[in-house]
Amino acid sequence: MDDNEFRERSDTALTKVAKWLEELDPDEVDYTTADGVVTIEFAGGAKFILSRQSQMKQLWLAAGSHGFHYSWEAARGLWLDDKDGHELFPRLAEAISEQLGHPVEF
């Protein structure tokens, strides 16, 4: 994947996350976006960060004490973790659910 394709794919993913976060209760979770970063903040003070890592051509998720690195899998059209192959969006929903203490779905 070249730099332009990576930027387009990562921007699409980051925008998708931001739009999904708009649907959640703003009293429980809020977010901000900057160039290539979505920062997710919780009422209790916890913070998750999803960021574009252009040199690695990955999206990185820092969620509590966990860090995940996602690469684009063109054949499946998914962002997959480079360690165990899980998908980005379901894992993000799971991490946010754990933080909030109730389920949310992506």
> How do residues 39-87 score in pLDDT, each as one tens digit?
999 998 999 999 999 999 999 999 989 999 999 999 999 999 999 999 9
Query: What's the pLDDT at 17?
Result: 98
Q: What is the pLDDT of residues 16-40, one digit of tens each?
A: 999 999 999 999 999 999 999 999 9
pTM score, whole prediction: 0.94
User: What DSSP character marks residue 4?
Assistant: H
Please report which helix (H) or strand (E) contains residue 98, including its range.
helix 88-100
The mean pLDDT value for 80-99 works out to 97
Angle between helix axes 3-22 and 88-100 (nearest 10 degrees) is: 30
Do 55 and 33 meet the contact criterion of CB atoms below 8 Å apart?
A: no
